Structure 1
Amino acid sequence: MEAEAENQRGTPDQMQDVEKLPHDTPAAEREGPTSIFKGLGVLDRFLALWIFLAMAIGIILGNFVDNVGPALQKGALVGVSLPIAIGLLVMMYPILCKVRYETLHQVFKTREIWIQMGFSIFINWIIAPLLMLALAWAFLPDEPELREGLILVGLARCIAMVLIWTGLAGGDNEYCAILVAVNSLLQMVLFAPLALLFIKIISHSESTIPLSYPVVAKSVAVFLGIPLGAAIVTRFTLRKITGPAWYDNVFVKWLSPWSLIGLLFIILALFASQGKQVVHQIVSVVRVAAPLLVYFIIVFFSTLYITYRLGFGYRLSTTQSFTAASNNFELAIAVAIATYGADSSQALASTVGPLIEVPVLLGLVYVAKFVAKRTNWKP
């Protein structure tokens, strides 16, 4: 069986690039670390704490330091203040540098990948956004601006933190990277028209600042297109000049923390800009948190159960579940700020996303590993 599996994998050179495609191979059965925190750096390990601290510092600055809000609004890039825009680009770029674009053409030759991709696209781009739309209306029928921010979060499919959750839970990192690449491309095409469909047409938005297709499309192009293009150029250029080993083991490891640093800066800046508003709207923050919590739990467990019943291995099921449950709150924040302004309720609602997602999905990592152990779920 081992020899047969080796033959199916191909040559050593091919294995180096596509060694972890989503197949249930014997190599996948190795056990992960006893504690998921052993696989985390300091930033990742206490990310929920850092987010709370960034929010607290931002609120204190916004309420007790004069002119900090206006200072963070200086300059503009497609409607987003320059400091926040730089933070958004810094946040998106590192994670996109990890995607193995050079192997995608090999991956898509297998029929199994297309089946998995079709399932993921159906969950991510039809079921999950519609569920968030329903939850937004159910929990916030009297708060149209908060509801719009929540809808934007539901439409932004995850292309960043999902790689962390998948890795911690022992999912298929290579397949997860494929989903990140595909969702990045789909967001370039689908986010703007779906945002208009869900907010302007289905929800009949009566916001004083109407959602504009050009503004949304431009925000997606800048805050996703620029880092995606830069990441592709960086990966192909540096890997050719320095070699794959240096790129993966030195450059990517040095670059990775900047994504979380960018996230923390964005949260601090947003809450500094909205410090007084947050204090006066703490009830609104709680009301936005409630549907987000329900959303993460429903999407994760539903996907995990369906994939289990369909006979997917644990690694694939976990990857599918975390990809479906996670959201690209970076893009939602960027669009909300560009469209409605940094001090808007829509921006506030989108900013609550990482506050809830990080601790909830970190807890679901433990749940996934517990379920796998109790059910003897094969990789």
Structure 2
Amino acid sequence: MSHTDTRPDGVVAKLSALDRFLPVWIAAAMVAGLLAGRWIPGLGTALNAVAVDGISLPIALGLLVMMYPVLAKVRYDRLDTVTRDRRLLLPSLVLNWLIGPALMFALAWLLLPDLPEYRTGLIIVGLARCIAMVIIWNDLACGDREAAAVLVALNSVFQVVMFGVLGWFYLSVLPGWLGLATTDLAVSGWQIAKSVLIFLGIPLVAGYLSRRLGERAKGREWYESRFLPKVGPIALYGLLFTIVILFALQGHQITSRPLDVARIALPLLAYFALMWAGSYLLGKAIGLSYERTTTLAFTAAGNNFELAIAVAIATFGATSGQALAGVVGPLIEVPVLVGLVYVSLALRGRFAHHRP
């Protein structure tokens, strides 16, 4: 992808048809799920007949399928290129693992004080840091591709280690310290960690082995130019398949409480705007280049909604409000971050020096 084409009309044109119309496909998947849930008798019972860690087998397969291609793209041998750059690494860790979860926690409690299930679902979204579509947004905005891939790899590893601990802290411990209601937020840290190990750990190992064995057998050029383009779209197919199944099980809640869905969208909009703008200003202030400032902003603002959906389903059930909050996530994140690509390109001229 050229880093010289910053025209707004060129941004969307660079996306594949599948990526470009992703919000449309997601909406269509929602409608298909709703209709299937209404028209196919006994569908819910059939979907839950076989379960993996409390998740119906079709949903579990969909979640694993959507995670694998993204993790297969990561260049695991380049972690040191970012770990040596403390101006990028330290702010990224602080934004992703301190500020991001805390901000979502605050917004969820501020805007959804009377909807505990949705509030909990949003907190889980805040804990699930970027490892997926953020690479696309970063590339469209002409960010640093290598830095984005490395930060994604770092977040992937860190999530396996810390997601369960942070989930326990934000869902059980912190509300108690602040005198907030905790009865509806009780959740096992180990249960969340187990979900992460299954639905992130398995595709993470598979992605690492794919790259290592693929490059060893046929080289990096073949792996990235031939193999990855073939498996890449599978992630979105997995996402759409999962959404169809989720909405088949969630149909009654969605159609009976549309106002609740709108209320879930409000804190998500605020979260994406605040995280991206704050990260962008921080990158500019500490002297990062345009490319790395853009990477910092998008990796901090983006969330791994696949993991959030997986954890919500495994912990609270496929028909829970927490799962619904996770499903609403990509519907808000996709159009908002596409819009922020345009904003980022418009601000590019404010940097005195950037890569050609």
Which residue number corresponds to residue 172 of structure 2? 200
What is the rounded CA distance, in whole Å, between the counterparts of 1:65 and 1:313 in structure 2? 54
Identify the residue that residue 48 of structure 1 maps to in structure 2. Answer: 23
Q: Quick check: 1:33–1:39 contact (8 Å CA) kept in 2?
A: no
Q: C-alpha distance in 2, partners of 1:108/1:64?
A: 51
Superposed displacement of residue 101, structure 1: 1.0
Matches for 1:252-271 after TM superposition, within 5 Å: 252-271=228-247
Q: Which residue of 1 aligns with 2:57?
A: 82
Contact 1:167–1:173, Cα closer than 8 Å, also in 2:
yes
Partner residue in 1 for 2:218: 242
Q: Sequence identity, in percent?
A: 47
Task: Return the index of the structure with the highest Cα Rg.
Answer: 1
> Is residue 184 from structure 1 mapped to residue 159 from structure 2 by the alignment?
no
Deviation track 1:282-330 (CA, whole Å, cap 9, x = no partner) reads 1111111000001000111111112112221111111000111111111
Offset of residue 212 of structure 1: 1.2
Aligned residue pair count: 347
SS of the residue corresponding to residue 183 of structure 2 reads: coil
Partners of 2:91 and 2:271 lie apart in 1 by: 19
Give 1:14's aligned residue. Answer: none
The residue number in structure 1 matching 2:192 is 216
CA contact (8 A) 1:61 1:275 kept: no
CA contact (8 A) 1:129 1:155 kept: yes
**Which residue of the other structure, out of 282, 292, 296, is the alignment partner of 1:316?**
292
Name 1:230's counterpart in structure 2: 206
The CA deviation at 1:68 is 2.3
Aligned partners of 2:117 and 2:322 also within 8 Å:
yes
Matched to 1:228, the amino acid is L
Q: Distance in 1 between matches of 2:35 and 2:21?
A: 21
Q: Which residue of 1 aligns with 2:4?
A: 31
Q: Please, what is the CA RMSD of the aligned residues?
A: 1.7
What amino acid maps onto 1:154 in structure 2? G
Change (3 A) 1:59 1:281: same
**Partner amino acid for 2:135?**
L
TM-score (normalised: structure 1): 0.88
Counterpart residue type for residue 281 of structure 1: R
Q: Quick one: structure 1 residues 259 and 245, their matched pair in 2 at CA, closer, same or farther if it must change by over 3 Å?
A: same
Q: Is residue 78–residue 215 contact of structure 1 (8 Å, CA) maintained in 2?
A: no
Which residue type is aligned with residue 236 of structure 2?
A: L
Q: Which runs of 5+ in 1 are unaligned?
A: 1-27
Residue type matched to 2:149 in 1? A
Corresponding letter in the other structure for 1:41: S
TM-score relative to the length of structure 2: 0.94
Q: Structure 1 counterpart of 2:196, which letter?
A: V
Aligned to 1:273: 249
Letter in 1 for 2:101: P
CA distance in 2, matches of 1:181, 1:280: 40
Does the 8 Å contact 2:121/2:312 carry over to 1?
A: yes
Cα 1:62–1:114 change in 2 (3 A) is same
* Aligned 1:64-75 pairs, distance under 5 A: 64-75=39-50
**How far apart are the structure 2 equivalents of 1:85 and 1:210?**
24
Equivalent positions of 1:224-373 (< 5 A) are: 224-373=200-349
Task: Work out whether 1:122 is the aligned partner of 2:97.
Answer: no
Q: Determine the C-alpha separation between the residues in 2 that align with 1:352 and 1:109.
A: 34
- Is 1:174 aligned with 2:135? no
1:59 correspondence with 2:34: yes
Paired residues of 1:84 and 1:269 also in contact (CA < 8 A)? yes
Would you say 1:163 and 2:135 are equivalent positions?
A: yes
Judge conservation of contact 1:193–1:213 (CA < 8 Å) in 2. Answer: yes
**Do 1:165 and 1:365's aligned partners in 2 also have CA atoms closer than 8 Å?**
yes
After superposition, the Cα gap between the structure-2 partners of 1:30 and 1:220, relative to the gap in structure 1 and judged at 3 Å, is closer
Shift >4 Å, 4+ stretches: none
Work out the CA distance in 1 between the residues paired with 2:175 and 2:259. 23
